[in-house]
């Protein structure tokens, strides 16, 4: 660190830069969680003052995670990581190869008394015994002769100093994998009606489409529910066809993707096709049930001119509770609007009291009439998500390195020991010093054990 370096290099090897970059990335990520992003931003942006909107757009705040500045921060972090690692690696490597040899100036007088034991034999004999003792723990032991006796040095766990490089390599691979996925990855949707075949992959965000070299048929789509109304299974039975021939068949479920033709397919969503016909039934008190085939815009008078019903909307799957129609009833008693759900019985069972809490869902809101609806002869369509992401292997490798590196860095430590022997009148005094790059408690314990072994062998007083 004493060499003078160019300002540019100094700038990139500083950990202060790392900390500033990490803080900036965290702040940018935070902005993305409070400002609506991409599709969600449209409604929000109309409420902004035009000047503010211009600022938001200039800084790409509606697409933070793909914005030029966010990617620039990631790239700068990568450069910073590489620079830091290149700068620090040689020192770690030297430590690993040679260890720091004792220079012979270590003296017993510098050590605390509780780290010193006395031995009966001369220093040379004790030194060879202790060298063997130290070698049991340390990969490399060095011995230096001093005017007073000997100094032995040994280290263990040097490899833990490489953990940090492994972690940083992992982070680099994660960034590289993420960028590779963003640049070369493909992500889109294939929408197929039951019984039909499709070979069109529509890219996400409405950015065009691709014709696949194979076709997919949806033989059947199934949705099953638990008793409480929560969905249990979404399942598409698919057939993959090449030139009209069946190549593969399989069931696609959530959490069980299918790989085919270089793409991975995921069960993404589903829906009911328009079509089929809508039947609205209504009954006055305990009277006769009237049934009527209907559609949005249909309007009719209730018997006895008690009111006029208009069908405002029809939904295939309203709030994930199945088909529903919205009715508007005008009468001399006032006007009401409410939804009529096909699955009203199941909704009531799953949410007791819902009809009083949410009158908008009560099919009997226009008393004494009770409405119900049914869809007949309808078909599902399934939506498959398809993805090809060349960054995934890099990301997986990066994550594995990151975790392995963290374990090595944090659960091991580089401990160095020095044994100082000084001879006095044919006997010797032995002192132990130690240092560690982390975990002082662990070092303390190991030094106590080592000191016990040093004193235990022979002739201690």
Binding residues for other proteins, rule: CB under 8 A, are 15-16, 18-19, 22-23, 25-26, 29-30, 32-34, 37, 40, 65, 178, 187, 226, 228, 230-234, 253-257, 264, 266-268, 385-387, 389, 392, 395, 399, 402-403, 406-407, 410, 438, 440-441
Nearest approach in angstroms of CB 324 to other proteins is: 21
Instruction: Please give the full DSSP string across 219-278, using - where no structure is assigned.
Output: EEEEEEE-TTS-EEEEEEEEEEEETTEEEEEEEEETTB-EEETTEEEEEEEEEE-S-SEE
66 vs 335, beta carbon nearer other proteins:
66
143 vs 235, beta carbon nearer other proteins:
235
32 vs 307, beta carbon nearer other proteins:
32
Nearest approach in angstroms of CB 358 to other proteins is: 17
Q: Which residue has the tokens 């260890």?
A: 99
CB 77 within 8 A of CB 175: yes
Nearest approach in angstroms of CB 268 to other proteins is: 8
Nearest approach in angstroms of CB 103 to other proteins is: 25
Q: Which residue has the tokens 């199941």?
A: 346
318 vs 387, beta carbon nearer other proteins:
387
373 vs 395, beta carbon nearer other proteins:
395
Alpha helix ranges (H) inside 98-228: 123-135, 163-184
247 vs 254, beta carbon nearer other proteins:
254
> What distance in Å separates the CA atoms of residue 201 and residue 187, rounded to the nearest whole number?
9
Which one, of 394, 22, 406, 402, lies nearest residue 173 by Cα? 394
CB 236 within 8 A of CB 252: yes
Nearest approach in angstroms of CB 27 to other proteins is: 9
Nearest approach in angstroms of CB 327 to other proteins is: 30
CB within 8 Å of 277: residues ≥ 6 apart: 293, 375, 376, 377
Task: List, in sequence order, every residue forming a beta bridge with 234; answer none if it has no partner.
Answer: 223
């Amino acid at each position: 660190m004493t060499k003078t370096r160019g300002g540019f290099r100094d700038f990139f090897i500083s950990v202060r830069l790392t900390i500033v970059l990490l803080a900036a990335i965290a702040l940018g990520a935070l902005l993305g969680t409070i400002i609506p992003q991409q599709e969600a931003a449209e409604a929000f942006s109309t409420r902004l003052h035009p000047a503010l909107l211009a600022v938001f757009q200039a800084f790409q705040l509606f697409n933070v995670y793909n914005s030029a500045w966010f990617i620039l921060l990631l790239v700068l972090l990568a450069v910073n990581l590489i620079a830091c690692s290149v700068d620090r690696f040689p020192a770690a490597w030297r430590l690993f190869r040679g260890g720091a040899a004792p220079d012979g100036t270590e003296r017993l007088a510098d050590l605390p008394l509780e780290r010193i034991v006395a031995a009966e034999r001369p220093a040379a004999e004790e030194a060879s015994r202790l060298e063997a003792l130290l070698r049991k723990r340390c990969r490399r032991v060095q011995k230096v002769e001093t005017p007073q006796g000997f100094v032995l040095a040994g280290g263990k766990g040097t490899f833990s100093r490489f953990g940090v490089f492994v972690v940083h390599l992992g982070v680099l691979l994660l960034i590289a994998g993420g960028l590779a996925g963003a640049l070369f990855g493909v992500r889109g949707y294939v929408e197929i009606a039951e019984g039909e075949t499709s070979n069109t992959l529509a890219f996400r965000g409405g950015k065009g489409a691709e014709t696949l070299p194979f076709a997919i048929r949806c033989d059947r789509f199934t949705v099953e529910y638990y008793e409480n109304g929560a969905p249990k299974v979404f399942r598409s039975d698919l057939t993959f066809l090449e030139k009209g021939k069946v190549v593969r068949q399989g069931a696609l479920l959530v959490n069980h993707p299918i790989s085919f033709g270089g793409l991975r397919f995921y069960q993404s969503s589903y829906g009911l096709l328009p079509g089929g016909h809508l039947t609205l039934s209504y009954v006055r008190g305990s009277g006769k049930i009237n049934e009527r085939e209907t559609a949005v815009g249909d309007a009719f008078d209730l018997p006895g001119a008690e009111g006029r019903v208009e069908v405002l909307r029809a939904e295939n799957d309203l709030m994930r509770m199945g088909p529903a129609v919205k009715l508007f009833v005008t009468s001399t008693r006032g006007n009401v609007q409410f939804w009529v759900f096909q699955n009203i019985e199941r909704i009531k069972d799953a949410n007791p009291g819902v009809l009083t809490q949410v009158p908008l869902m009560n099919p009997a809101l226009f008393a004494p009439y009770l409405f119900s609806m049914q869809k007949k002869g309808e078909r599902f369509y399934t939506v498959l998500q398809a993805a090809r992401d060349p960054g995934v292997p890099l990301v997986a490798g990066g994550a594995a390195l990151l975790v392995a590196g963290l374990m090595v860095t944090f659960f091991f430590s580089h401990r160095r020991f020095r044994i100082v022997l000084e001879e006095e009148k044919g006997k010797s005094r032995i002192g132990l010093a130690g240092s560690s790059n982390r975990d002082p408690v662990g070092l303390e314990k190991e030094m106590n054990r080592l000191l016990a072994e040093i004193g235990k062998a022979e002739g201690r007083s």
